[in-house]
Amino acid sequence: CRDLLVRHGGHAAAAGFTVRNDRLPELKERLQAIAEAELSGMDLVPRLDIDAEVRLSDLDWATYGQLELMEPCGHENEQPVLMARGLEVRHRRAVGAEGRHLKLIVSDGRVVFDAIAFQRGDLAGQVPDRVDLAFTLNANEWNGERRLELNVLDLRPAGREEV
C-alpha cells in the first residue's frame, strides 16, 4: 500500500503512517483484501501465556525484587505474567476518567491486594465474587506510600478448568 501513503516507517512493531483523506477508502479496501488473503483460516483468538501460578500470600517485596532482576521488560522481553485462582473479590468499581478502569480488592483468604485492570471499567458490574486473575506484579506509589499492586491482564469466574 506504499503508493497510497504520504509517509510511513519506524521500527518493526510500529504501525504509524500518514494518508490523505481522499485515499482512505482505497487504503481500507486494500488492507481488508490483504488481511483476508493472509489471515484466512488462522485462529485469531487472543492468547495470554501464563509464566507461573502463584498464591497471593506468597507475593511480597522479595518476590517483586526477583521479578525486577528480569528488567528491562519490553517487546522482546515481556514482563512475567502470573496467575492466581479462586480469589475473593471484596470490592469492585470503575475508576478514572469516565470510569474507564476497573479497581478491585482481592484476597486469597490470607492477604488482600489492590488490583487494577486498565481500560476495563465496563466490567465493574459483571465481576463475580470469585475470580481467577492473570496479572503482572507492580509497585504503586501514591502519596508517599509504596505498595504492591496487581495489574490485571485478564480475569474469569473462578473454577473453570481450561487454561
What does the DSSP assignment read for 89-101? EEEEEEESGGG-E
Q: Does the predicted model carry a pTM greater than 0.85?
A: no
Count of positions (residues) in the chain: 163
Per-residue pLDDT tens over the stretch 60-90: 999 999 998 888 887 778 889 999 999 999 9
Per-residue pLDDT tens over the stretch 31-63: 999 998 988 888 888 888 899 999 999 999 999
Q: At residue 163, does pLDDT exceed 60?
A: no
Which pLDDT score, from 0 to 100, does residue 54 have?
95
Confidence of residue 161 (pLDDT cuts 50, 70, 90): low
Quick check: 78 and 47 in contact, CB under 8 A? no
Which pLDDT score, from 0 to 100, does residue 94 have?
93
Q: Alpha carbon 120 to chain centroid distance?
A: 10
Quick check: 5 and 18 in contact, CB under 8 A? yes
Give the separation between CA 160 and CA 163, rounded to whole angstroms: 8
Which pLDDT score, from 0 to 100, does residue 17 have?
87
Confidence of residue 136 (pLDDT cuts 50, 70, 90): very high
Amino acid sitting at position 19: V
- Mean confidence (pLDDT) of the chain: 90
Give the separation between CA 68 and CA 62, rounded to whole angstroms: 10
